Amino acid sequence: MRASVRFAITVAVATAVGMSGLGMAGANASTTAVTACQTRPSAAGYVKAENAKPGSTGWMYSTTRNTGLEAFANLTSASCGQMLRLMVSTTAPTATVTAWRMGYYQGKGGRAVFTSDSFKTRVQAAAVSDPATRMRRAPWTTTLAMRIDGRFVPGSYVLKVTDSRGGQTYVPLTVQDPASRTPLLVVSESLTWAAYNPWGGISAYSGYHGAADRALGASLDRPYDKNHGAATYFTDEYPLIRLIEQNGLDAGYVTDVDVHDNPDLLQQHRGVLLGAHAEYWTAPMRYGFDAARGAGVNLAVLGANTGYWQVRMQASNFGLNRAFAISRDASLDPVTATVPQAATIRFRDLPAAQPEAKLIGQQYEGCPNVSGNMVLSAPAWPLPDLAAGTVLPLGVQQEFDRATPQTAPDSGYLQVLASSPLNCNGATTYANVTYYTATSGAGVFSAGTIGWVCQLWGSACPWGAGPTSATTRAVFVATTERLVRAMAAGPLGASHPSTATGVPVAQASSVVAGTGPTSGNADAHDSGCPSHRRKAAARPVPLDADDDDDDQDRDDGTLPTQLTSGIGAFRPWLPPSS
């Protein structure tokens, strides 16, 4: 039996308490009485029991006031007993925070489990920049310290901060049960949110001068700039969570950072679910998902562009795994010469290539900002009983995956359930829905579009393609419900073995550059994605301490070496021996 291994990050931890973030001078502390932690907070039936409690729509954003309110937490996930620190900046003198557990709750969508006393707030410092990578972070001190206690039932949360002048903002938070053995596990995509986050003026995709001065790293130590601090939580994850909990299915909740830290946790469950856009993975994450599939754990990828870029986790003043390197160009990564397998490029372009399709069944096609109808070419389980050729209006949105004969999964028979022709810069390409069962018994389903989850609930996806079709929603909801129920019961290879339909002939003969496992320049692959401010990734100009011509974001001090791209302390991650 292989011992479970907890993976430690390969860089040192910043230890100076009192530096930005960990400094507690002047911080508020929650004075609310603490509720004892439960022995088994995610025991069988906990989701159904939790959702029977009265819900409310008070979690919804309900203001037009702009008070400059922003916030972030020192953790992406927490478990009962941990101290959570909240960093808040606003022009208002005081604020409160309410923790909302998100689910179904009689259609209300959330339940308030905690509301703080009023605490003092102030305007905090501007962004600072890592001179070596342009990575932005918020050098803020703690505003409120609060203990995660027994009231915080495991689940997916948003902390809604409201200031005394009417401003509102969100901070996403996952509350996990480390001992959870729930049938299902939902993995939140905090790394992808961080990569796209332009807070401080620069993201991993774009700087002040387009892609030329993009950041070569991303930090979790800052607010999310978009959607009132929620990033893409309400479109990429919440509709799936709402549906799971509406059906009373027991699911555990973790983030991708948790999977990086302990990849073996995936094997504590029968099925693992990913939302719309889990683009950024680490080497331990990829190992963990491969190993889970090999152990018979089912996987549902209800999105596209998944597991595409490899990143390397780094420490910050808050501790481990609060930042990551992402050069997206091997020539810009200082470890390429010595440890090329650790370079922060596409998994499919590593020396020992790991195309996403070998795990997922298909992979990102490289034609963003394209939407169109989904065509069910060979509908079979878990799709409803529909005729071949059935069209689902706007079933494919924004980014999509494609299956090819060259990138078939490592094991099992691949079924292509939908083959939807799309126009990609004047050429015909295809978006697919795929399913296969591996020799281990695991089933792997891939929706192949970022537009799947957002059409499970709500009036429309955020990209302006048009309102959600009632037909499309009905098929997506029915498919998702059938899939997750069967995943929760055990290995899909026993109950729903796949059959080899293969890639349709017309599609197989129409390969667009960018599909294969070694498709050339990785930066050209991400050629444009307006909804995420993506830019063609030209090579960045030389980096210096301040990359623009103003003083707005000038660095106010040197970051710890652990935050920079100087990798003297770097040691390559290796999977455990069997």
pLDDT confidence tier of residue 34, bands split at 50, 70 and 90: confident
Please give the residue that has the higher pLDDT: either 524 or 379.
379
What pLDDT shows up at residue 503?
Answer: 82
What would the pLDDT profile of 242-297 be if each residue is shown by its tens digit? 999 999 999 999 999 999 999 999 999 999 999 999 999 999 999 999 999 999 99
Supply the mean pLDDT for the chain. 86
| CB 34 within 8 Å of CB 84 | no
Best-predicted range by mean pLDDT among 480-494, 503-517, 543-557?
A: 480-494
Can you name the residues that pair with 325 across neighbouring β-strands?
Answer: 217, 312
**What is the mean pLDDT of the segment spanning 332-345?**
97
Residue 537 has pLDDT above 50, yes or no: no
What pLDDT shows up at residue 331?
Answer: 96
End-to-end CA distance of the chain: 8
pLDDT confidence tier of residue 23, bands split at 50, 70 and 90: very low
Torsion angle, alpha carbons of 148, 151, 155, 159, to 10: -60
What pLDDT shows up at residue 26?
Answer: 56
What pLDDT shows up at residue 28?
Answer: 78
What pLDDT shows up at residue 558?
Answer: 31
Best-predicted range by mean pLDDT among 15-24, 341-350, 494-503, 554-563?
A: 341-350
Residue 62, judged by CB atoms within 10 A of its CB (0-12, 13-18, 19+), counts as: exposed
What would the pLDDT profile of 104-136 be if each residue is shown by its tens digit? 999 999 999 999 999 999 999 999 999 999 999
Residue 541 has pLDDT above 70, yes or no: no
Can you name the residues that pair with 78 across neighbouring β-strands?
Answer: 175
Rg of the chain taking only CA atoms, in angstroms: 23
DSSP summary character for residue 149:
-
d(CA 62, CA 134): 35
Residue 574 has pLDDT above 50, yes or no: yes
Percent of the chain past pLDDT 70, that is, above it, reads 82
Per residue in 121-156, is it b (16+ CB within 10 Å) or e — as a string?
A: beebebbbbbbbbbbbbbbbbbbbbbbbbebbbbbb
Please give the residue that has the higher pLDDT: either 23 or 296.
296
Please give the residue that has the higher pLDDT: either 512 or 365.
365
Residue 502 has pLDDT above 90, yes or no: no
What pLDDT shows up at residue 91?
Answer: 98
CA angle 196, 349, 339 (to 5 degrees): 95
What pLDDT shows up at residue 571?
Answer: 57
| CB 343 within 8 Å of CB 507 | no
Please give the residue that has the higher pLDDT: either 136 or 561.
136
What pLDDT shows up at residue 407?
Answer: 83
Q: How many helices (H) and strands (E) does the chain have?
A: 11, 27
Taking the CA of residue 507 as centre, how many other CA atoms within 13 Å lie in the half-sphere pointing to its CB? 25
What pLDDT shows up at residue 535?
Answer: 31
What pLDDT shows up at residue 380?
Answer: 95
| CB 78 within 8 Å of CB 173 | yes
d(CA 277, CA 435): 18
Taking the CA of residue 491 as centre, how many other CA atoms within 13 Å lie in the half-sphere pointing to its CB? 16
What pLDDT shows up at residue 473?
Answer: 98
What would the pLDDT profile of 141-165 be if each residue is shown by its tens digit? 999 999 999 999 999 999 999 999 9
**What is the mean pLDDT of the segment spanning 346-355?**
97
Residue 1 has pLDDT above 50, yes or no: no
Three-class DSSP category at 266: helix
| CB 440 within 8 Å of CB 454 | no
Largest CA distance in the chain: 67
Question: CA of 537: how far to CAs of 204, 214, 315, 405, in Å?
Answer: 10, 8, 26, 29
What would the pLDDT profile of 193-223 be if each residue is shown by its tens digit? 999 999 999 999 999 999 999 999 999 999 9
What would the pLDDT profile of 408-425 be if each residue is shown by its tens digit? 887 778 999 999 999 999
Cβ contacts of 207 within 8 Å, gap of 6 or more: 134, 201, 213, 214, 215, 540, 547
What pLDDT shows up at residue 531?
Answer: 31
| CB 106 within 8 Å of CB 113 | no
Can you name the residues that pair with 94 across neighbouring β-strands?
Answer: 120
What would the pLDDT profile of 60-93 be if each residue is shown by its tens digit? 999 999 999 999 999 999 999 999 999 999 999 9
CA angle 73, 79, 80 (to 5 degrees): 110
